[in-house]
Amino acid sequence: MSYIELKDISYKYPLSKDVVLKEISYTFEKGKLYGIIGPNGGGKTTLCNLIKGLIPNFYDGELTGEVLIEGKDIRDWDSSVLATTIGYIFQNPFTQISGIKETVFEEIALGLENLGVEKEIMINRVIEVIKLLGIEDLVEKDPNKLSGGQRQRVAFASIIAMDSDILVIDEPTSQLDPQGTSDVFKIIQGLKEQGKTILLVEHKIDLIAEYADEVLVIDQGELIYSGETSEIISNRELLNIGISIPQVALLSHDMQTSNEPFEQFAITKSQARE
Ligand code: ADP
């Protein structure tokens, strides 16, 4: 059974003039990392909101088609179970911080607290995640006074503490310097190794090339390309919609596709000796 399935999804926000997603179908398998790329305004965040179940519950609007998680329509899932099954890291970490807790430690514990997890288990779990992310220096800080990069790490910690099976991550590196970006991608890779299914919106195409198993390209609400990462990111057509292609991807793609003519010139060992 497919893990997450989009079946002919079209969506229009209550106040948008046109549909913002058009007949999108795709099957996501468990344990893979999916990169979602495309020009601004194409519909990537809307698709994330939809998979997270924020649409239609939160936004209303007109939705046709189905989003199935483990074969069951998200509209039929109990909303609290859905909320723990899918973790969502927002594009803007400023909206991710609750604003009601006085320390980072309490902020990270909040999701578990809301689930009614026993105090001792909760504390141990939070300590574990803090150590995992190496953010011991932040625990006593006021979550409302953190830098963008620090907030991003705390947002990750809160989500990891919840141990959701599916993670939808919308531009996690937008607030981060190169070191922070590399740290976050190590965390994402670690989550994948734990068997999490990850949907990742990311503008930095070289990171998608390195980490994603499959890529979806969304432009003007349509899924225009999708499939294995190496195939998709070496497609020169991406340049037409303003997506740069990593040189290394083009090079390795060209070498693969140019094998045949080279084989005509291949010589045997005995010919070479002659
Ligand atoms: P992306 O993440 O690819 O930049 P979005 O999903 O944010 O794209 O936006 C897709 C389209 O939907 C855009 O035209 C945007 O203006 C529109 N849109 C996004 N959110 C809303 C909303 N709440 N109401 C109406 N239109 C919206």
Tens of pLDDT, residues 211-266: 999 999 999 999 999 999 999 998 889 988 998 888 777 777 667 666 555 444 44
- Span of 67-71, 93-97, 100-104 with lowest mean pLDDT: 93-97
The closest residue, in CA terms, to atom 22 on ligand 1 is: 13
For 165-207, the pLDDT digits (tens) are 999 999 888 777 888 888 889 889 989 999 999 999 998 999 9
Domain CATH code at residue 243: 3.40.50.300
Q: Give pLDDT, residue 58.
A: 61
Confidence of residue 8 (pLDDT cuts 50, 70, 90): very high
Q: What's the domain range around 47?
A: 4-273
Beta bridge partners of 229: none
- If you search the block for the tokens 């990750």, which residue do you land on? 156
Atom of ligand 1 nearest to the CA of 170: 2
Cα 46 to ligand 1 centroid, rounded to whole Å: 6
Residue 136 has pLDDT above 80, yes or no: yes
Q: How would you class 53 by CB atoms within 10 Å of its CB: exposed for 0-12, middle for 13-18, buried for 19 or more? A: buried
Q: Is 41 in the pocket of ligand 1 (CB under 6 A)?
A: yes
Q: Give pLDDT, residue 82.
A: 86
Q: Give pLDDT, residue 269.
A: 47
Q: Give pLDDT, residue 249.
A: 72
Atom of ligand 1 nearest to the CA of 39: 3
Cα 176 to ligand 1 centroid, rounded to whole Å: 23
Ligand 1, residues 19, 46, 224: which to mutate, most atoms within 8 A of Cβ? 46
- Mean pLDDT computed over 79-107: 81
- If you search the block for the tokens 């909320």, which residue do you land on? 83
Give Cα separations from 77 to 67, 71, 85, 196 (angstroms): 11, 11, 10, 20
Token representation of residue 206: 């070289």
Q: Is 46 in the pocket of ligand 1 (CB under 6 A)?
A: yes
Percent of the chain with pLDDT over 70: 88
Give Cα separations from 68 to 82, 131, 239 (angstroms): 12, 35, 33
| Domain total of the chain | 1
Instruction: Find the length of the chain.
Output: 274
ipTM surpassing 0.90: yes
Atom of ligand 1 nearest to the CA of 221: 10
Please provide the average confidence, as pLDDT, over all residues in the chain: 86
Q: Is 16 in the pocket of ligand 1 (CB under 6 A)?
A: yes
CB 121 within 8 A of CB 109: no
Q: At what angle do helices 148-162 and 178-193 cross, to 10 degrees?
A: 10
Q: How would you class 163 by CB atoms within 10 Å of its CB: exposed for 0-12, middle for 13-18, buried for 19 or more? A: middle
Coil vs helix vs strand at 259: helix
Percent of the chain with pLDDT over 90: 49
Q: Is 42 in the pocket of ligand 1 (CB under 6 A)?
A: yes
Q: How would you class 59 by CB atoms within 10 Å of its CB: exposed for 0-12, middle for 13-18, buried for 19 or more? A: middle
